[in-house]
Amino acid sequence: MADRLTDEEQALWHAWKQAAEAVRARVGADITADTGLSDVDFAVLTRLVDLGRGTVRQNELAASTGWHRSRLSHQLTRMEQRGLVRRRSVEGGVEVHITEAGSTAAAAARPVHAAAVRRHLLDRVPAAQAEALRALLTDLAT
């Protein structure tokens, strides 16, 4: 165990960092350019729709995204100001509702998102490699 990465290790590490950053940036840019939503906005809106047909408890939203409460709170504040969601105090917590504008934006963004993910990631993974990659990534996330 040397204190520096070997050339081979460096190569894999750099490739990893570059790819992760490139895919993230490209998908995000495509969504933003076409819909005005950030990738994070999109993540929240789709969860509102998919998890609760437009209404989800804030706590459940935090669990689903894996974000800290404060991050979600700040994010929802900004989205509320832009008219994408509304919050409503309810027993035992807060309910987050998607607005008309939020629904419209989410519906418009959905195909853009799917196309961007395919173009920048999915379509570039050889079919023979896909399953092994998925397994590896799942393990890495653990």
- Interacting residues toward a second copy by CB under 8 A: 1-5, 9, 11-13, 15-16, 18-24, 110-111, 114-115, 117-118, 120-122, 124-126, 129-130, 132-134, 136-141
Q: Would you list the DSSP string of 24-62?
A: HHHHHHHHHHHHS--HHHHHHHHHHHHHHTTEEEHHHHH
93 near DNA (CB under 7 A): yes
DSSP string, 67-98: --HHHHHHHHHHHHHTTSEEEEEETTEEEEEE
Binding of DNA at residue 87 (CB under 7 A)? yes
Only segment of 11-19, 84-92, 107-115, 123-131 that touches DNA (CB under 7 A): 84-92
Question: What CA–CA distance (Å, rounded) separates 89 from 91?
Answer: 7
Give the Cα separation of 5 and 1 in Å (integer). Answer: 9
80 close to 86: Cβ distance less than 8 angstroms: yes
Q: Confirm if 31 and 113 have CB atoms less than 8 A apart.
A: yes
* Residue 30 binding DNA, by CB under 7 A: no
Write down the least CB distance from residue 65 to a second copy, Å: 11
Binding partner selected for residue 136 from DNA, a second copy, none, CB under the kind-specific 5 to 8 Å limit? a second copy
- Tell me: does residue 18 bind DNA (CB under 7 A): no
**Per CB under 7 A, 59 contacts DNA:** yes
Of 7-15, 83-91, 105-113, 117-125: span binding DNA (CB under 7 A): 83-91
Binding site for DNA (CB under 7 A): 25, 38, 40-41, 57-59, 62, 67-78, 87, 89, 91-94
